[in-house]
Chains A and B, each alone.
Chain A
Amino acid sequence: MSAIAIEKNSSSDIAAAIQSGVNKFPSLRNQREEAMSEFVKLGLPAAKHEEFKHTPIKPLLERNFDFTLANPKAKISSVKEFAIPELEANVIVFVNGLFSTEHSSIISPETQISILSLEEAVEKKSEVVLAHLSKYIDLKTDTFANWNTAAWTSGLFVHVPANTKVEIPIVIYHIHDTSNGQVIAHNRNLIVVDENSSVTLLEKYDSVEKANHFSNSVTEAIVAKSAELNLYMIQNDLGNRFQYGLTQIHQADSSRVNTFTFSLNGKLIRNNLQLSLDGEGIESHMYGLYLLDNDTIADNHTVVDHRKPNSFSNELYKGIMDGNSKGVFNGKIYVRPQAQKTNAFQSNKNILLTDNAGINTKPQLEIWADDVKCSHGCTSGQLDEEALFYLQSRGISKDTAQAMMLYAFAGELLDNIKHPVIKNYLDQIISERLHKNF
């Protein structure tokens, strides 16, 4: 079969499959129709596409999915096995992309925070939702965001009113049950944190059974003046997980955002994390850790857009690639002409454990202002042999020496997590992965 025929099939198959749902929400009709037509125009990204040249998402999806199929029924009896132990949280569960009332439980009082499914909020014509949904994402270029915007049927809406510190985190478990075949889910989250408020949100992705499954998620967050958002993403699913995610965060004056992205397992992971620093005195930290093995591909594309003066951004992404895995890091920093006195820092460090593992790292700084402090650095290489020998020369076995060095490398990310239960949970997963035995 020729490549041209496949291309025609995939986007027209997708378009046909989602067509009936485009008019699901009357109040969103315009944006969904527009997104649909943009998606048909763009199609899935070709192999030569600049933003996908190391991540063959199109052939991987085409080879592994039939886009004409509807999702099968799910039969999850409990979410306990996926839950983070001892974490007091507002628990939200999506099964095969659909909000599950049965498994979700909200413990924070309604006066403090409103948490409801996005579809319910849209049906109630929530003014906050209609004011913000799809407002900050770039529908001209991001084909997956268009696909999601036209196709989503279920999602989460979180609204923290002004002057409210929500101590109890919100944890979203995305669970795919593939026992009756492949799953394709389009989740959509909208998080609005009003002035001088704070909230923590964690998303975790899991699955049961062996058929392929694909998440195409979009999260939009609006962080108002002096507000704070902590966002965690834990991607530690099985090898039949395909995932594309866009997280678009819009920050106002003096707001603070901390993001933590842990990509630990799966078949294909592509994270687009985009921060728009549209105010002064903003502080943003982006932390990422990818521990890859087997034939996992994990691709982190990040954008920090400094649009106003006097803000600070710091990005630290680290990766360890084992087996035949492949990591991709692309970090864009934009400093607009009016964004004087910007401080923007970026660092990407990688360790390759085998000859077949790979990393493509690319910092991309575009600076139009002249009075700024920006720096970036990236490293990739094997474990330091001299350091291994040093540890061995003190009586430590080579395996332990290697685990010590890898854990120390990865542990720098853990040091930045403030929530003790989340930190402890991630520490345990990472320790196990790196065979920590000391």
Chain B
Amino acid sequence: MLSIKNLQAKIGDKQILNGINLEVKPGEVHAIMGPNGSGKSTLASVLAGREEYEVTEGEVDFLGKNLLEMDPEVRAREGVFLAFQYPVEIPGVSTINFMKTAVNQIRAHRGLQALDAVSFLGLMKERMKLVEIDQSLLSRSLNEGFSGGEKKRNEIFQMAMLEPKLAILDETDSGLDIDALKIVSNGVNKLRNKSNAVIVVTHYQRLLDYIVPDFVHVLYKGKIVKSGTKDLALELEAKGYDWIKDEVAVEL
């Protein structure tokens, strides 16, 4: 589904990604872990098409198409979804209106008719249950005055509405207490199926107790330096990141 080859990217003059290679197949969950500043969020941003980052080398193939050539909205319409680490507050735009526009522009891209108000509300009510989010929250300005947990739940609600093929969760656990973490993870798990995939970007192992990965990759200095199963995440939790840094130093 997603094939990343030798991906290199910089912001300004600062090189951040130094040759990422990653293969993600339908039905898989990949965790990207790593110390602060290793390039985890940059990888998520580059995949979603954030303009500040310049890709200097490499290829990203998504379902047979060159992802890097697409505008951010086209990537979303093709099935990529980024759950933001810091969801943006947009005064005056309600989540409901915003989602209705998004759903219908995605449907138009796929050659489908726009949903009428009734069908849209029906879909929305069904998906609200998945993330236990209240309609009154969705009628309010997007993320404005939301708690950290409400913002993250809103991200997963949007994911549920848009049904992406590839979801990238960028530090979705940050700022969540344990109850919110469970609700959010539960929502993600309910959305998983054989034909979609999830990339979980996280600093800590605790989210992976709830969203169990098939593969764990350790990113350090802009490269994947180690890959393994979920046991690798437990090892990192127990031993920290220093031993990885030492291993990399020895190899160099």
Contacts and interface: CB of A to CB of B under 8 A. Distances in A.
A411 interface: yes
Interface string B65-77: 0000001110111
A391 B48 CA distance: 12
Given A392-B71, A404-B98, A438-B97, A397 B105 contact: yes
A390 B109 contact: no
Contact of B87 (A390, A396, A405): A390
B201 to A, nearest CB: 15
Contact of B158 (A394, A405, A409, A438): A394
B72 A389 contact: yes
Interface in A387-414: 387, 389-398, 400-401, 404-405, 407-409, 411-412
Nearest to B83: A393
Contacts of A393: 48-49, 72-73, 75-76, 81-82, 84
Interface majority SS (helix, strand, loop, mixed), chain B: helix
Interface residues of B, number: 32
Nearest to A386: B88
A411 B88 contact: no
Interface string B111-127: 00000000000000000
A384 interface: yes
Nearest to B103: A395
Contacts of B141: 408
Given A400-B101, A400-B105, A404-B98, A394 B90 contact: no
Given A395-B162, A438-B101, A411 B109 contact: no
A366 B49 CA distance: 49
A396 B102 contact: yes
Interface centre among B73, B76, B81, B141, by most chain A C-beta atoms within 10 angstroms, is B73
B63 interface: no
A404 B93 contact: yes
A385 B51 CA distance: 10
Contact of B101 (A386, A396, A412): A396
B88 A404 contact: no
B63 to A, nearest CB: 16
A290 to B, nearest CB: 17
Contacts of A387: 88, 90
A395 B109 contact: yes
Contacts of B106: 395
A417 B84 CA distance: 36
B184 to A, nearest CB: 18
Given A395-B77, A397-B73, A438-B97, A390 B90 contact: yes
Contacts of A409: 91-92
A389 B51 contact: yes
Contacts of A405: 90, 92-93
B50 interface: yes
Nearest to A437: B101
A355 B106 CA distance: 32
A393 B47 CA distance: 11
Contact of B76 (A395, A398, A411): A395
Interface in A145-177: none
Nearest to B77: A395
Nearest to B107: A395
Given A400-B105, A404-B98, A404-B101, A392 B72 contact: yes
Interface string B14-57: 00000000000000000000000000000000001111000000
B91 A395 contact: no
B76 A392 contact: yes
Nearest to B45: A389
Given A394-B162, A400-B105, A408 B90 contact: yes
Contact of A391 (B75, B77, B90): B90
Contacts of B77: 395
Nearest to B89: A387
Nearest to A412: B92
Contacts of B73: 392-398, 401
Given A395-B76, A395-B77, A397-B73, A390 B105 contact: no
28 contacts: A384-B88, A389-B51, A389-B72, A390-B84, A390-B87, A391-B90, A391-B93, A391-B98, A392-B72, A392-B76, A393-B49, A393-B76, A393-B81, A394-B73, A394-B76, A394-B98, A394-B99, A394-B158, A396-B73, A396-B76, A404-B93, A404-B101, A408-B93, A409-B91, A412-B92, A438-B97, A438-B100, A438-B101
Interface of A: 384-387, 389-398, 400-401, 404-405, 407-409, 411-412, 438
Given A393-B84, A412-B92, 12 more contacts: A391-B93, A391-B102, A393-B76, A394-B98, A394-B158, A395-B162, A396-B73, A396-B105, A398-B73, A404-B93, A405-B92, A412-B91
Interface of B: 48-51, 71-73, 75-77, 81-82, 84, 87-88, 90-93, 97-103, 105-106, 109, 141, 158, 162
